[in-house]
Structure 1
């Protein structure tokens, strides 16, 4: 019975930190296994509304005075929703529930049918779908039954220490290396294991998400950085040599910037571009914490597309672009709020739902019966509208992303450019790649996608989608080569979320010079006069939270929290979804603005 008593104690206590921290970092050890305790509380929270209804309608709190509302829903959850039932031997509390087993089952059946579920499996799937975000214990079941692991990834800041030094530090000296991700999970007690993937992610390793590293000296001093593995891929793929000059075109919050600084070293130079002053302040804090002030120059309140001839960053050879995107690949961690627990009341009327709720349900049923066609038409219209809005937003983002890349292509000494998004949508990924490769500036200057065999991420198994490159002006073999050069990460790949990254490289001519006549024409984008970006209206807002150091889980991809504003001349009317011809017209307009011997937007 200690399992339920300890769970009730946790739920009755004021919540001062996350539920995971309460259970896995307790001030006093629990008698119950931590994973079981966490699972019981989370599952009860998920089903709390239906459990409250069942307990109230069964009227057991009026009959069993030893039962508290909290214990009643914890015990009823295991009675009704677990195969093994209540996980304890006989006792007064278990007996108090079992005396009313038939009544509880009957009320549960009524509650399930009222919600339109013909069996328990259907109800469970619906509730799990509602809470289908990443679980705090690091294990997620996908809709098709796949198990994915979401560990805490740690990047060692090699400006301050080596990987070997970090693993031998007091924080990690007791940790043992495991050969597989799953080896860190499915234990009654979380063990001190770490998992490296050195061939893909140098100086990066994973641990179980319940391990707290934020209070360690390594974290506080910036020697280790919490950063999802997927967001480490752009800098790894760019692979700038030591001592080189790099531009991070969309820099805040700074994890990728500090990663670049570690790669180029003290003899290198990184220009970190950030157009938002508030986010630039966060960026500077992270740079200082990482000890990269002598390497990184922050360009505050600067639009990347305004960097042209005469600017020190204009001579950079390597550019990293991680612009605003839909953020569709980001995993959202659940932080359960136990203060909002919906508990049953002991004086509720037994045997039926409340009169107010029943009248509301009956009215809803009458409306459904009276006008089924109208409701279906309205629902269909809403779905279409939502779909159109999503397509419009993706198209606006895609236009913005294409413009950013084309400006990077105009840098006279640029050798490599990586483009990445935390998006799973082809409109922001393969479609953007096709559009920029079709551009005049890419063809004139010899830009192409780096082949798989030449990039540092060649061992990663998931590549780009060749089916989404149908608009690329190339033969089938080249389309396949381009797709193989792109890297995709699914949300189920355990690297910290869905991601896309590609590296563009510039060809050399017969004389060993970079492609394109950059000596005669810089083909730069002049300072943005607003004409090109009207209608795109990308605004970047940092997540509404206090910055707490180097955590991709707290400030990760803050630039992905965007709002695309449509430039609609007639408020109240939705713009039509762009057709393929419309998209091509947009590309043509971009190409015209990059005519040879022209400077800036035309």
Structure 2
């Protein structure tokens, strides 16, 4: 739906709050309903933007009837997942531009979940759409396989907007076994509307309560309704499934070490990625699961045992203190670096982080960036490592593109491989204003229905002439980067130079930043991902 103002709506849907006292009727507009809608919309806006919790927003509101205000604000929050979905489907927010989103959500709550029976003033803006909204509500109830709104699960909008992802632990089980168990429990396997990322996402957005899908991007991941809890399920208790966000599977999938490899998981706890690596390696080879925290290391060891991992050894040590020349670790061919980060991509943490001041956030990001870059450079220094994957659950470029770009500039032995080479179905790349951006993978909560994640794949570069001698009797010229790559037919392909983006090109940077929020979500779906940098070079 749209943005609106509300004036005459019954708020009897909040019996716990009781009816407001007469003194509230002497508030700013003289209309208690209009005032409570306005106050609730302000509180909701503060909560959604991370400026306050529900309680503190209510406490700081000038509206006098706190219990009454708490009732409508909290109930709107409880049903926000459903409200947002119905609002989007009804197209209200585009049609009714006079309403702010927060005001629209509060009014939709009272109309569909409360007892709005008449409308004056601001409520009149939503009242005219009641037929369309009620139609969308009926469709939504049918999709969720419930009869009325009371049967819809309540919960915080941040935690409910993503599906429930479970990864089949192929060490102890198989996709067929898990699928059979789900079907025996009354779940129905569905097919996507189309074999594409868009078709897959469209299907899971309207997934029913007893439906499940096989994930489009990650093998052996099953997608279920977010209301389904698998933490105490028999499959989880026996280690046959791992409850793990899909985005966190991407790093292991892109590292993809073959069976028999020697692997270092540099910041391994709690061990979900380690167990995924072990499954990809068919539990054959060696994984050194390194973590600095002793307590987390103990829990990780128990977790790996629970999942039947026998090829991993937990090591309670600082990864930076492990010498690349140490015989025990020097044979590592694959390293995963998933360091401590701000967690800005994890939707359940963002409210807390948003309450930091801008100065505090900048200082924190710079400290994290320094640590992350040190860890990545250390990983690249191991003598036999062939592939290094760097990953964070952050959406901040300081921790992502900037770290990768600077690490590659300091080590000419490695090149950045396009994520699309290993995961061509994924559409979503890094920020195009960085030269490394188009080759890095990003997941976006709203677009991909996962946590926000960043992954970059780096591989050791071996010049063709060094590997096979001269090509056609001569070594072909190498580009400015000083790197060449053998192509499929034996020719030398010039790699795109890894160059820093120059912030001195001031005004261009500002112009692009306005466009950045949309570009970063969809740029990978267009063939011309690197056009922004190309235009910059022409100038």
TM-score by length of 2: 0.57
* SS of 2:434 mapped into structure 1: helix
CA contact (8 A) 2:187 2:212 kept: no
Q: Does 1:405 pair with 2:418?
A: no
Alignment correspondent of 1:447: 414
2:443 is aligned to 489
- Does residue 435 of structure 2 align to residue 465 of structure 1? no
Q: Which residue of 2 aligns with 1:131?
A: none
Q: Is the 8 A contact 1:251 1:257 kept in 2?
A: yes
- After TM superposition, the structure 1 = structure 2 runs for residues 81-480 of structure 1, keeping only pairs within 5 Å, are 81-82=106-107, 149-170=161-182, 174-179=187-192, 180-184=200-204, 190-198=208-216, 200-292=217-309, 294-332=310-348, 386-439=357-410, 442-443=411-412, 446-454=413-421, 456-469=422-435
Q: Deviations over 1:301-335 (max 9, x none)?
A: 34344233234122110000000111111111899
SS at match of 2:357: helix
Q: Equivalent residue for 1:590?
A: none
Q: Using the TM superposition, give the Cα deviation of residue 269 of structure 1 relative to its aligned residue in structure 2, in angstroms.
A: 1.2
Offset of residue 8 of structure 1: 6.8
Is the 1:230–1:495 contact (alpha carbons within 8 Å) kept by the matching residues of 2? no
3-state SS of paired residue (1:492) = helix
Higher relative contact order (CA 8 A, sep 6+): 1
Structure 1 486/138 Cα, relative in aligned 2: closer, same or farther at 3 Å? farther
State the alpha-carbon separation in 2 of the partners of residues 186 and 165 from structure 1.
26
Q: Secondary structure at the match of 1:427?
A: coil
Instruction: State the distance in 2 between where 1:305 and 1:580 align.
Output: 35
| Residue 215 (structure 1) shift | 2.3
1:264 deviates by 1.1
Q: In 2, distance between residues paired with 1:235 and 1:218?
A: 22
Picking from 452, 458, 473, the partner of 1:498 is 452
| Distance across 2 between alignment mates of 1:390 and 1:182 | 35
Over 3 Å counting, the alpha-carbon distance change for 1:399 and 1:334 in structure 2 is closer
Change (3 A) 1:74 1:252: closer
The farther-off stretch of 412-421 and 399-408 is 399-408
- In the alignment, the residues of structure 1 paired with residue 178 and residue 376 of structure 2 have an alpha-carbon distance, to the nearest angstrom, of 37
Instruction: Report if the CA contact (8 A) 1:156-1:225 is conserved.
Output: yes
1:49 deviation in Å? 4.4
Deviation at 1:252, TM superposition (A): 0.5
1:278/1:163 CA distance change after superposition, 3 Å = same
Q: Any gaps of 5 or more consecutive residues in structure 1?
A: 12-41, 62-68, 110-118, 122-134, 142-147, 336-382, 470-481, 514-578, 582-602
Would the aligned equivalents of 1:247 and 1:270 in 2 still touch at CA under 8 Å?
A: yes
Aligned residues: 364
1:229 to partner: Cα distance = 0.8
TM-score (norm 1): 0.52
Asked if the contact 1:330/1:498 (under 8 Å) is kept, the reply is yes
C-alpha separation between the residues in 1 aligned to 2:110 and 2:13?
18
Distance 1:74 1:323 in 2: 38
Q: Structure 1 residues 305 and 165, CA, compared in 2 at 3 Å: closer, same or farther?
A: same
Q: Following the alignment from structure 1 to structure 2, what is the Cα–Cα distance between the partners of residues 222 and 298? A: 19
Deviation at 1:271, TM superposition (A): 0.5
Aligned 1:516-535 pairs, distance under 5 A:
none
Per the TM alignment, residue 137 of structure 1 is displaced from its structure 2 partner at its CA by 5.8
Counterpart-to-counterpart distance in 2, 1:84 and 1:395? 42
Does structure 2 conserve the Cα–Cα contact (< 8 Å) formed by 1:305 and 1:404? no
1:229, 1:495 within 8 Å by CA — same for their partners in 2?
A: no
Q: What's the counterpart of residue 113 of structure 1? A: none
Write the distance in 2 (CA, Å) between the matches of 1:428 and 1:70: 40
Indicate the SS of the match to 1:233.
helix
Asked whether the equivalents of residues 244 and 268 of structure 1 are also in contact (C-alpha less than 8 Å), the reply is yes
- Matches of 2:171 and 2:416, distance apart in 1: 30
CA distance in 1 between partners of 2:240 and 2:220 (Å): 12
Q: Give per-residue Cα distances to partners, 1:99-132, cap 9 Å, x unaligned.
A: xx89xx89x99xxxxxxxxx999xxxxxxxxxxx
How far apart are the structure 2 equivalents of 1:251 and 1:449? 23
1:299 is displaced (CA, Å) by: 0.4
Aligned to 2:433, the other structure's residue is in SS state helix
Residues 304 and 195 of structure 1: CA distance in aligned 2, closer, same or farther (over 3 Å): farther
Aligned counterparts of 1:323 and 1:334: Cα–Cα separation in 2: 18
- Asked if the contact 2:401/2:430 (under 8 Å) is kept, the reply is yes
Using a 3 Å threshold, how does the CA distance of structure 1 residues 140 and 422 change in structure 2: closer, same or farther? closer
Quote the Cα distance in structure 2 between the aligned partners of 1:176 and 1:417.
36
What is the DSSP-based 3-state SS (H/G/I as helix, E as strand, rest coil) of the residue aligned with 2:260? coil
SS at match of 1:225: strand
- State the distance in 2 between where 1:83 and 1:266 align: 52
Report the 3-state secondary structure (helix = DSSP H, G, I; strand = E; otherwise coil) of the residue aligned with 1:253: coil
Q: State how far apart, in whole Å, the 1-side matches of 2:372 and 2:75 are.
A: 50
For residue 70 of structure 1, report the CA deviation from its aligned partner: 7.5
Q: Are the aligned partners of 1:280 and 1:300 in contact in 2 as well (CA < 8 Å)? A: yes
* d(CA) in 2 for partners of 1:463, 1:289: 35
Deviation string 1:218-250 (CA, Å, 9 cap, x unpaired) is 011111111111111111111111121110000
**Cα distance in structure 2, aligned partners of 1:391 and 1:84:** 37
CA contact (8 A) 2:345 2:445 kept: yes
Q: Is the 8 A contact 2:257 2:263 kept in 1?
A: yes
The offset of 1:251, in angstroms, is: 0.3
